Amino acid sequence: MHKRVHQRVLLVEGEDDKRVIPEIVEANGLTWGETAAEAIVFIKPIGGIDKLTEPGTISAEAKASGLQTLGVVIDANDSAEQRFQSLRSACLESFPNLPDSLPIDGLIHDTNGLRLGIWLMPDNQSRGMLETFLAYLAGGDESDPLFEHAKRACDQAKQIGAPFSDAHAGKSHIHCWLAWQKEPGRQLHDAVKFSYLDATSRRAQPFIQWFRKLYEL
């Protein structure tokens, strides 16, 4: 049995990314596809940043038969610069001559007939993660008072002993906000799919533009 050839591949950290990104893309006018075989991009959870930056992980993906474009979307967490340097080092074997710093509009780099794209959530410069990016979409292009209240509520909960870490504050904020919606507790991808979060807002467009340009869509 032959392994399926995927010309366009996107590596992500986990299952939330795998489910959310196609919904963001579809909200902006692209049809993702109902099955992996139909998908415009084959999206693959890699199991976290440590797995992604292990020696050999990126090179193995780059050597896959038929590959034309390899995208990587990961969280910046505490430092976009440190995260990029770690990922850059892991990519150099297969993609030499990468720039020393990550462009604000995301990396797109061609070498040896392959294209590499890198995006650090939320915006290639700020600390944060997928949930930070999704928080940008609460209220569309306007500030959402309810989301600001959710942030304050989580911060107050932290002060009186809520055990979530500072690094996961963004997760707490978005899930608190979702708990207060008409249908409380929607999963992140459903929050995009059913327009609780506005993926067509201007805050989402830099990511969409990077995605379209990377995969020539």
pLDDT in tens, 97-144: 999 999 999 999 999 889 999 999 999 999 999 999 999 999 766 778
Q: Cβ neighbours of residue 183 under 8 Å, at least 6 residues apart?
A: none
pLDDT at 35: 86
pLDDT at 2: 40
Neighbours of 164 (CB within 10 A): 13
Pair of tokens at residue 51: 């797995």
pLDDT at 4: 57
**pLDDT beyond 80 at 3:** no
pLDDT at 143: 78
Dihedral sign (CA 157, 141, 192, 83) = negative
pLDDT at 173: 94
Distances from the Cα of 61 to the Cαs of 21, 53, 81, 88, in angstroms?
Answer: 20, 12, 23, 15
For the segment 13-22, the average pLDDT, to the nearest whole number, is 96
pLDDT at 140: 64
Q: Cβ neighbours of residue 149 under 8 Å, at least 6 residues apart?
A: none
Give 39's DSSP letter: -
pLDDT at 139: 76
For the segment 61-66, the average pLDDT, to the nearest whole number, is 90
Neighbours of 15 (CB within 10 A): 11
Distances from the Cα of 208 to the Cαs of 121, 160, 201, in angstroms?
Answer: 13, 39, 11
For 112: left if phi > 0, alpha if psi spans -120 to 50, otherwise beta; the answer is left
Which tens digit of pLDDT belongs to each residue from 71-104? 999 999 989 999 999 999 999 999 999 999 999 9
Which tens digit of pLDDT belongs to each residue from 186-196? 999 999 999 99
Q: Give the pTM.
A: 0.93
